[in-house]
Structure 1
Amino acid sequence: MRAGTLPLRAAAIALAASLLAHVLLLGGGRAREEATRPAARAASISLLRPPVPPAATRPEPAAQPLPARPRAGRPADQPSPAAEIHVDVETSSAAPTAPPLRLAGPASWRYRLRQGGQDGEASLAWQPQPDGRYSLRLTRSIGERALPAWESLGHTGAAGLAPERFALQRGGQDRQAVNFDAEARRVSFSASPARLDLPEGTQDRLSWWLQLAALVEAAPAPGGRWRLWVAGLRGELREWVFEAADAAPEDAGMLHLRRQPLGEHDPGIELWLDPARGFWPVRLRQGDPETRGYEIRLADVNS
């Protein structure tokens, strides 16, 4: 190789390298320009368009308080005590409660007795106490023979008599009894395994005499009909309905009541109330006094 050709070749290689470098530089700049062109174009478009309002959003619901935890013994769907009081007030304003019943003061009533075709005597002792307790006792005798006594014990209130125990006594001892549990709303019997629901105002076979007198005095003529529940000694509990009946001429001034029959073999009850004595029973007849029934008539009054 000639010595003069080396410098020419080196110069050509250097020129080619320089041209390649310029090409690469030009290509990179064009690529950067192409990459930034869409962003610039988008920016220019956004400047020319009017601003678009943001889409309407639904307001978030307000936080609701957690439901109150129900108290023990009260279902969650029952009203609160405040609501119950409100209902009671509304009910009482629409339908006022009945006025308190009036009961007679302490007294001892003597009757003439006719039972099983025989004559005898009966005495009814009524002893209400200042503390609200009461005792009511009926004793009977035919000649020298004492018949079983009836005794009712309990308390009095605005609704009249609320018996707690009724007993049939022989020789001063309870032989049969009915127990009234006002708290448990149950009535039970010594002569029966029955335990029955206790309706409001239930009476025994003696206390109903005074209770009916108080009901009649409070409403002398509510359609000529009065109702009360009565429990017997053998496990029976029935609603008694009394209706006004015509009075005989000799019973003028008396209110004559008759109890509706309880069944085909019911002996029936009739009684005569004296308005001058607070509608106290002055005569009472159950069944036929000449056979298995009895009748009492007021003899005199000691009070």
Structure 2
Amino acid sequence: MAFSPQERIAFAAALAGAVVLHACALGALSRRSLPRAIDSPAVTTRLIDRPLPPAPEPVATPEVRPAAHPAVPPPSRRATPVRTPDTRPVPAWLALPLHGAGTLAYAFIIDGQPGEAALSYRIDASRFDITLERRAGDRELPVWHSEGRVGAQGLQPERHRVTRQGRERELLIFDRASARPVLLVGARAFPMSAGTQDRLSWWLQLAAMMAAEPAPHLGQRLRVPVAGPTGVNDWDFEVAARDGDRWLLRRDLARGAGRPALQWSAWLDGRRGFLPVDLRFSLDDDEQWALRLLE
């Protein structure tokens, strides 16, 4: 059966409309069947605003910042060194057993030979000057001399000299003016702690430290840094005995490689501001020399 041109045009239009309606129906059905997660505003925003990342590359280990993860605590948090049990630091204020000017006479013995000794001193509120002279028979021993300042921590030596027959044999200089105080021995410099004494001034410093203790007792220890030609060493004295107002303080140093055992013994008189009235020095329990204050 043949169609006229007008009928062919009408048939084509009807067919196109049916196709469009069928496509719309399929689209509606598809929208009802798909999950709705893609309609999430957050997901849509991320996909539109940010381009896809490039292909992943090897990632380096992130650097650990010291500020966030310090390997070493800051100085203010570092643990302080542990002191010897029951060893006292240098007190903030010390009262010396001697003031003004004068001379103390001592009986002296060295290597079994009797002699005599004199401790001359000049001490005021700001400075001190002390000298020890010893003689045994015709044997004139080196003269020890110490001078320096007097401060809140007792004696602060500046110079220690050892002379023999008028000639200087040894000189120690205490440089406390620099940021890090040092002991100068010739061209050498050694670190120096607070309260460091020389081999003569420690007598009076130990007395002042004992006087500063509110309740001295047996077993108590007092520490005095003492300077010598080879540097500064801590001398620990233990309260070993008591006889009335007198207290015995001892320093024992065990025998070492190439070194004998050393021992210092000092009797301090509490009625005289703990002034040393008996001093003895021994090597391997063999007394080398002793001083006893004459009454």
With the shorter chain as reference, the TM-score category is 0.5 to 0.7
Q: Which moved more, 1:261-270 or 1:141-150?
A: 261-270
What letter corresponds to residue 109 of structure 1 in structure 2?
L
1:169 to 163, 179, 202: 163
Q: Which residue of 2 aligns with 1:255?
A: 247
Q: Which residue of 2 aligns with 1:236?
A: 231
Structure 1 residue 292, shift from structure 2 partner: 6.8
CA shift in 2, pair 1:276/1:126, >3 Å: same
1:100 to 93, 99, 102: 93
CA shift in 2, pair 1:197/1:262, >3 Å: farther
Q: How does 1:263-274 map to 2 (within 5 A)?
A: 263-264=255-256, 265-274=260-269
CA shift in 2, pair 1:290/1:267, >3 Å: closer
Q: Deviations over 1:149-169 (max 9, x none)?
A: 000010101110000111111
Q: Which residue of 1 aligns with 2:143?
A: 149
Q: Which runs of 5+ in 2 are unaligned?
A: 1-73, 77-89
Q: Does the 8 Å contact 1:102/1:218 carry over to 2?
A: yes
Q: How does 1:184-195 map to 2 (within 5 A)?
A: 184=178, 185-190=181-186, 193-195=187-189
CA distance in 1, matches of 2:199, 2:175: 16
Q: How does 1:1-303 map to 2 (within 5 A)?
A: 98-103=91-96, 104-106=98-100, 107-129=102-124, 132-184=126-178, 185-190=181-186, 193-219=187-213, 220-221=215-216, 224-232=220-228, 234-247=229-242, 251-261=243-253, 263-264=255-256, 265-287=260-282, 293-300=288-295
Structure 1 residue 174, shift from structure 2 partner: 1.8
CA shift in 2, pair 1:189/1:294, >3 Å: same
TM-score, normalisation: structure 1: 0.61
CA distance in 2, matches of 1:111, 1:78: 49
Q: Does the 8 Å contact 2:117/2:133 carry over to 1?
A: yes
CA shift in 2, pair 1:78/1:143, >3 Å: closer
Structure 1 residue 129, shift from structure 2 partner: 3.5
Q: Which runs of 5+ in 1 are unaligned?
A: 1-76, 80-96
Length, aligned pairs only: 200
Structure 1 residue 99, shift from structure 2 partner: 4.9
Q: Which has the larger radius of gyration?
A: 1
Normalized per residue, which structure has more helix? 1
CA shift in 2, pair 1:167/1:289, >3 Å: farther
Q: Deviations over 1:90-144 (max 9, x none)?
A: xxxxxxx9552111213321110110110000111121145x1210100000123
CA shift in 2, pair 1:227/1:78, >3 Å: closer
Q: Which residue of 1 aligns with 2:81?
A: none
Structure 1 residue 172, shift from structure 2 partner: 2.6
Q: Does the 8 Å contact 2:251/2:263 carry over to 1?
A: yes
Q: Which residue of 1 aligns with 2:29?
A: none
Q: Find the residue that maps to 2:142 and give its secondary structure.
A: strand
